[in-house]
């Protein structure tokens, strides 16, 4: 039996348990309290047994608290999260040798094709085929980096919301409260990761490098599951997914600032977390409970029941969310472009697969869903289509090499406004190209002057003193 929190309990309806209780009705006729844990007859113990069970329960809670404290100062019990996630996944069957070979060959093939559509070299990554359990274990270190700052600042925001007197009174209980919060975050994280592990197709599904550095990973079992719904040969689906993974690996390995910029955006958002109760204050102010009119009071209370009175978690650093959305869109948009250019003439179903991927991004397994359920950041849907169109227009305007050079520095990247106005960004690239051409011509002229003394002025220092054209000062 599952209670909805990922814990499995034994079935209480088996005959053995019934016999232990005395009959099939869950109780002993001679002991009406048996159903509540009070023993009777030879099962004995009575009140002493109840106290013993209560002590065991407290001991179990203490063990959980100790585990939370032993994990360091972490605001999330990641051990609990991993246990619950692995329990939720269930299937730990190893990846077959055939699937491993198929993943390795697919990644090798698409890397050869991608080299024709991007100047970023192939990543020095080890090809690996994972099952869902592998994904959980291997990606947990990155999830720790992303989730822990949010949980830490959430705890701090909750304490800041409390009156000073209440904080002083609960001082001795702060450790217990932190342990409980840690377990609560761990439970939520375990649920979310367990669900996500069954959907994930690669180690970088969402434009987010949760897999270890230097690992290009594909989950063939999950790929096979989605290929059945697409009426597309499984090998073509695998090649398409492998191409997306290989393209992201090129970005994450050869754009050294990219991964840290993604993590820094999450940390910046977390640092500004605070509890907003303005909606509660507004709702209570709107109630007219002092009129004395029973009907008005009844209507007010009914309206109150339909209101969302839960405190809202907001961040003072809301700009970090926008930057994160834009960066995720630019990563996935660039991947869309280079993969399409690589596969369009080689894989018959590439257009169908690209559209299916876009639907998946919009309806499930997307970056915004992952951040909302796991990291706790409410993202808007990244404008991936707009970003892809921007990269295509940049490619047409200045070429592949100049397009990929945009990743050389974060300040060179398009911003959120450019996604809606690609022409403005392309204008900046064209201006830069003009300046670069001018600098190149100027350097060429300087080189000619150095190599041809006859072109220099006769005054010996190469400077024009105006004596030859009558403009001498």
Burial of residue 311 (CB within 10 Å: 0-12, 13-18, 19+) is middle
Residue, of 40 and 333, whose pLDDT is higher: 333
Q: Is the pLDDT of residue 376 over 60?
A: yes
Q: Is the pLDDT of residue 45 over 50?
A: no
Residue, of 331 and 373, whose pLDDT is higher: 331
Q: Is the pLDDT of residue 12 over 50?
A: no
Most confident of 125-139, 171-185, 432-446: 125-139
Residue 160 CA to residue 272 CA, distance in Å, equals 12
For residue 382, the 8-state DSSP code is P
Residue, of 66 and 122, whose pLDDT is higher: 122
Kindly state the average pLDDT of the residues 113-139: 96
Q: Is the pLDDT of residue 309 over 60?
A: no
Residue 150 CA to residue 302 CA, distance in Å, equals 35
Contact status, residue 339 vs residue 109, Cβ threshold 8 Å: no
What pLDDT does 81 receive? Answer: 93
Q: Is the pLDDT of residue 43 over 80?
A: no
Output Rg (C-alpha) for the chain, integer angstroms: 32
List alpha helices for 344-414, DSSP H.
350-363, 367-370, 384-405
What pLDDT does 269 receive? Answer: 87
Kindly state the average pLDDT of the residues 313-325: 83
Q: Which of 214-218, 226-230, 333-337 has the lowest mean pLDDT?
A: 226-230
Kindly state the average pLDDT of the residues 382-405: 95
What pLDDT does 374 receive? Answer: 80
Burial of residue 252 (CB within 10 Å: 0-12, 13-18, 19+) is buried
> pLDDT over 90 for what percent of the chain?
44
Question: What confidence tier does 446 reach under pLDDT thresholds 50, 70, 90?
Answer: low
**Beta-bridge mates of residue 218:** 129, 202
What pLDDT does 30 receive? Answer: 36
Residue 196 CA to residue 206 CA, distance in Å, equals 11
Question: Quick one: which H or E segment has residue 215?
Answer: strand 215-218
Q: Which of 298-302, 370-374, 381-385 has the lowest mean pLDDT?
A: 298-302
Question: What confidence tier does 31 reach under pLDDT thresholds 50, 70, 90?
Answer: very low
Question: What confidence tier does 29 reach under pLDDT thresholds 50, 70, 90?
Answer: very low
Residue 433 CA to residue 202 CA, distance in Å, equals 37
Kindly state the average pLDDT of the residues 150-175: 70
For residue 461, the 8-state DSSP code is S
What pLDDT does 184 receive? Answer: 87
Kindly state the average pLDDT of the residues 120-133: 96
Angle at 358 between CA 192 and CA 406, to 5 degrees: 100
What pLDDT does 96 receive? Answer: 95
Residue, of 106 and 8, whose pLDDT is higher: 106
- What's the full length of the chain, in residues? 473
Q: pLDDT, tens digit, for every residue of 172-206?
A: 666 677 788 888 889 989 999 999 999 999 999 88
Handedness of CA 285, 290, 295, 297 (dihedral sign): positive
Provide the CB-side half-sphere exposure for 325 (13 A, CA): 20
Q: Is the pLDDT of residue 51 over 90?
A: no
Contact status, residue 254 vs residue 123, Cβ threshold 8 Å: yes
Question: What confidence tier does 115 reach under pLDDT thresholds 50, 70, 90?
Answer: very high
Angle at 83 between CA 82 and CA 88, to 5 degrees: 95
Residue 49 CA to residue 69 CA, distance in Å, equals 30
The number of beta carbons lying within 10 Å of the beta carbon of residue 361 is: 22
What pLDDT does 458 receive? Answer: 47
Nearest of 318, 315, 326 to residue 261 by alpha carbon? 326
> For the chain, what is the mean pLDDT?
77
Residue 258 CA to residue 278 CA, distance in Å, equals 37
Residues 6+ apart with CB under 8 A from 338: 114, 117, 118, 247
């Amino acid at each position: 039996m599952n209670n909805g929190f990922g814990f499995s309990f034994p079935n209480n309806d088996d005959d053995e348990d019934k016999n232990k209780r005395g009959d099939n009705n869950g109780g002993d006729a001679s002991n009406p309290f048996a159903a509540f844990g009070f023993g009777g007859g030879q099962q004995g113990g009575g009140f002493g047994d109840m106290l013993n069970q209560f002590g065991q329960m407290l001991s179990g809670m203490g063990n959980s608290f100790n585990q939370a404290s032993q994990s360091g100062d972490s605001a999330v019990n990641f051990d609990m999260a991993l246990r619950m996630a692995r329990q939720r996944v269930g299937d730990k069957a190893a990846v077959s040798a055939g699937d491993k070979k198929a993943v390795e060959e697919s990644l090798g093939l698409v890397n050869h094709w991608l080299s024709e559509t991007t100047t970023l070299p192939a990543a020095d990554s080890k090809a690996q085929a994972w099952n869902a359990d592998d994904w959980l274990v291997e990606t947990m270190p990155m999830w720790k980096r992303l989730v822990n700052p949010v949980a830490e600042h959430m705890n701090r925001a909750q304490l800041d919301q409390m009156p000073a007197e209440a904080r002083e009174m609960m001082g001795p209980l702060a450790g217990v409260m932190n342990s409980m919060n840690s377990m609560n975050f761990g439970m939520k994280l375990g649920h979310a990761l367990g669900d996500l592990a069954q959907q994930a197709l690669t180690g970088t599904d969402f434009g987010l490098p949760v897999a270890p550095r230097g690992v290009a990973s594909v989950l063939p079992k999950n790929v096979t599951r989605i290929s059945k719904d697409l009426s597309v040969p499984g090998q073509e689906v695998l090649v398409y997914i492998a191409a997306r993974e290989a393209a992201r690996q090129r970005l994450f390995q050869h754009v050294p600032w990219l991964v840290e910029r993604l993590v820094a955006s999450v940390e910046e958002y977390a640092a500004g977390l605070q509890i907003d109760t303005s909606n509660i204050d507004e709702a209570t102010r709107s109630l007219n409970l002092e009129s004395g009119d029973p009907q008005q009071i009844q209507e007010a209370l009914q309206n109150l029941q339909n209101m969302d009175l839960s405190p809202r978690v907001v961040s003072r650093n809301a700009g970090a969310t926008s930057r994160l959305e834009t960066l995720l869109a630019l990563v996935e948009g660039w991947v869309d472009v280079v993969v399409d250019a690589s596969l369009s003439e080689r894989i018959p179903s590439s257009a169908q697969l690209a559209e299916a991927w876009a639907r998946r991004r919009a309806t499930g397994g997307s970056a915004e869903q992952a951040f909302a359920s796991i990291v706790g950041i409410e993202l808007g849907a990244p404008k991936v289509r707009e970003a892809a169109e921007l990269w295509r227009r940049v490619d047409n305007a200045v070429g592949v090499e100049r397009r990929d050079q945009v990743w050389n520095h974060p300040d060179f990247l398009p911003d959120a406004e450019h996604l809606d106005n690609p022409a403005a960004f392309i204008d900046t690239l064209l201006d830069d190209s003009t300046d670069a051409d001018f600098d190149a011509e100027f350097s060429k002229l300087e080189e000619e002057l150095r190599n041809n003394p006859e072109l220099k002025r006769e005054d010996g220092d190469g400077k024009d003193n105006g004596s030859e054209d009558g403009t001498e000062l």
